[in-house]
Amino acid sequence: MVEQLDISVVVTTYNRCDLLSAAVKNLLSQEAAGLRYEVIIVDNNSTDETRQIVESFIRRGHSNLRYVFEPRQGISHGRNAGVTSARAPIIAFTDDDVRVSKNWLASIKRAIDEHSEVDFVGGKILPDWPHEPPSWLTRDHWWPLALLDRGDNAFYVNAANPMVLPTANAAFRRDVFSRVGLFSEEFSGREDAELILRLWREGRQGLYEPAITVTADVQPNRMTKGYHHRWNYTTGRFNSMMRLGESMGRDGSLLDKQLNPRTIFGVPIYLYRQLISEGLCWCQTFSQESKHLQHENRIYYLVGYVAKRFQQRK
């Protein structure tokens, strides 16, 4: 008889065996208050010792740890393999460079049980800096690092309050994937935002719960302006594919139908105005490094958005 589980945890990893061991140990030492859970490590075609590390934990008696190999490269493929393999009604996601809090699973289960009106939950993703961050890397620049801290009060995230809860620290009811489908392979790398956008368009919602807390290792290469430029440009391209923003009302809420704004070469006119406005603000904030970089990154985002739309039109 198959054991009835409360939560399945999915971690997708690729050639990061140096980080994986600590992440697995952390997940297996949860203060889970009697919860029955499994940890599924999805090896996304690694060539290092990922498999050996997972199997070494299993040999030590951790029967709730499972190894899944997914040969198709890409985070969406990995997450989907984990969803398909999961056996519990709640599927939680985190990453190999993340350390969850001791009561992480208990906090997820409590939030899901107490809020039948939500389909997913998430919470704080706090940084573990490898060294002192540069002065410009304020909280205004946390999003490209997949960091999140929106205070100590819980609130809903939905079409009226559209904030993505990253899958470095998020959990979904299993039936979400039956309702709206799996993670999109086309949007691999921004797959969590695209999935949640589909839920919002179905009138569903999630919950930001600050008790669900993790700490993420910030990779040194992500603490550079070049990384933030590239991230914003790529995000602009992905959001252009999703037409994110073009289906929003003036209050920021998502509408059921596209607004069909006036366009030039397939690009909404208001985006050209935003690009000009950001350029002017960029020129005016040279003496404020963090603020100056905000406008600079917004320009990269808009250029990526416009470039993708030009490409699609062509």
Output the CA–CA distances (angstroms, integers) from residue 81 to 78, 97, 272, 306, in the order listed.
Answer: 5, 19, 40, 33
Position 245 scores a pLDDT of: 60
User: Residue 230 falls within a domain, yes or no?
Assistant: no
Summarised one tens digit per residue, pLDDT across range 25-74 is: 999 999 987 899 999 999 999 999 999 999 999 999 999 999 999 999 99
**Tokens 């460079």 sit on residue:** 97
User: Residue 162 falls within a domain, yes or no?
Assistant: yes
Count of domains for the chain: 2
What gap in Å lies between CA 127 and CA 222, rounded to an integer?
12
Instruction: Name residues whose C-beta falls within 8 Å of residue 2's C-beta, 6 or more positions apart in sequence.
Output: 87
Structure tokens at 127: 């940084």
**Together in a domain, 297 and 207:** no
**Together in a domain, 205 and 256:** no
User: Residue 228 falls within a domain, yes or no?
Assistant: no
**Together in a domain, 143 and 165:** yes
**What is the model's pTM?**
0.90
Structure tokens at 208: 């930001």
**Together in a domain, 215 and 246:** no
For the residues 250-279, what does the mean pLDDT come to? 72
User: Residue 1 falls within a domain, yes or no?
Assistant: no
Range of the domain at 74: 7-223
**Together in a domain, 151 and 252:** no
Q: What is the dihedral of CA 204, 205, 206, 207, to 10 degrees?
A: -150
**Together in a domain, 217 and 247:** no
Residue 39: strand, helix, or coil: strand
Name the residue type at position 173.
Answer: R
What gap in Å lies between CA 226 and CA 222, rounded to an integer?
8
What gap in Å lies between CA 57 and CA 82, rounded to an integer?
19
Q: Is the pLDDT of residue 6 over 70?
A: yes
Summarised one tens digit per residue, pLDDT across range 111-160 is: 999 999 999 999 999 999 999 999 999 999 999 999 999 999 999 999 89
Q: What is the CATH number of the domain that holds 133?
A: 3.90.550.10
Name the residue type at position 181.
Answer: G
**Together in a domain, 194 and 262:** no
**Together in a domain, 134 and 248:** no
